[in-house]
Amino acid sequence: MKEKKPSKNSIYKQVSLLFVWGEIKYGEKSNSFVVYSSVIGGIFACKLVYDLSQIFTSIYFKGYAGLSKSQQVEWNNRSISTVHAIFITAMSLYLAFWSDLFSDDQLSGLVTMRSSTLSTFVLGVSAGYFITDLAMILWFYPSLGGLEYLVHHLLSMVAVTYAMLTGEGQLYVYMVLVSEATTPGINLRWYLDVAGLKKSKAYLINGFMMVFAWLVARILLFIYLFCHVYIHFDQVRQMHTFGIFLVTVVPLVLALLNLVWFWKILKGLNKTLAKRH
């Protein structure tokens, strides 16, 4: 009995399936490499910034040696958060508002499902930062931050990690991450205080700048985010249940925390102004 030869059509289908399978496997490996390398790179970058801060601060700021051990740790920890804030704010503004990745004019799928190698890599670096900072907060608790900082970092880390691994809701994660633009100002205020410059003009100007930056990046931007979610809710509802939770509930909790902190900033500025009169 002769063995039946496969037709050209069946060979073509098998080859096509092989290529599709190969692309899927390659895509999985490629995505895994991007995820792992970016997270690990983010953690190592934090360690590098911490060490460099320790070296350069001890050389150029003579008062560093006179700080307590916990203050030195916080000084270097704030250096990490400042560098991360500058990096993630720039990348978030580019990806969320300037690039075409999440533009409504693009017809390449739902805006809630869009991602790229760059957007995933940047989230991985940010996840590495949040892992490092959360570990430091827990290790030195409560000197680097209380319960509200733990809640903020946990929610941020979960949202960033989910968006990085699934590719869902990356636009909204980047909108929230733009709020990190306020971090350098907060850290500068702490540095001025520790350096004994609380009564300086720079400290007062910093207070006004913080109020403005906080209002724009952590109040008005979140209102824009909620409006965007509402307008695109037909696309949001097609995400997984946990993804919908992260896009709706997490920003709401963070917005409430932002309002609490904004009230504290206003009280602090008012107290500073009262002392000057």
Mean pLDDT of all residues in 88-113 = 91
Do residues 46 and 135 touch, judged by C-beta distance below 8 A?
A: no
How does DSSP assign 155-205, residue by residue? HHHHHHHHHHHH--SHHHHHHHHGGGGGHHHHHHHHHHHHTT-TTSHHHHH
* Nearest of 74, 82, 236, 263 to residue 171 by alpha carbon: 236
Residue 16: per-residue pLDDT = 40
Cα separation, 83 vs 206, whole angstroms: 18
- Taking only the tens place, the pLDDT of each residue in 226-266 is 999 999 999 999 999 999 999 999 999 999 999 999 999 99
Cα separation, 16 vs 63, whole angstroms: 68
Among the residue ranges 22-36, 129-143, 215-229, the one predicted with the least confidence is: 22-36
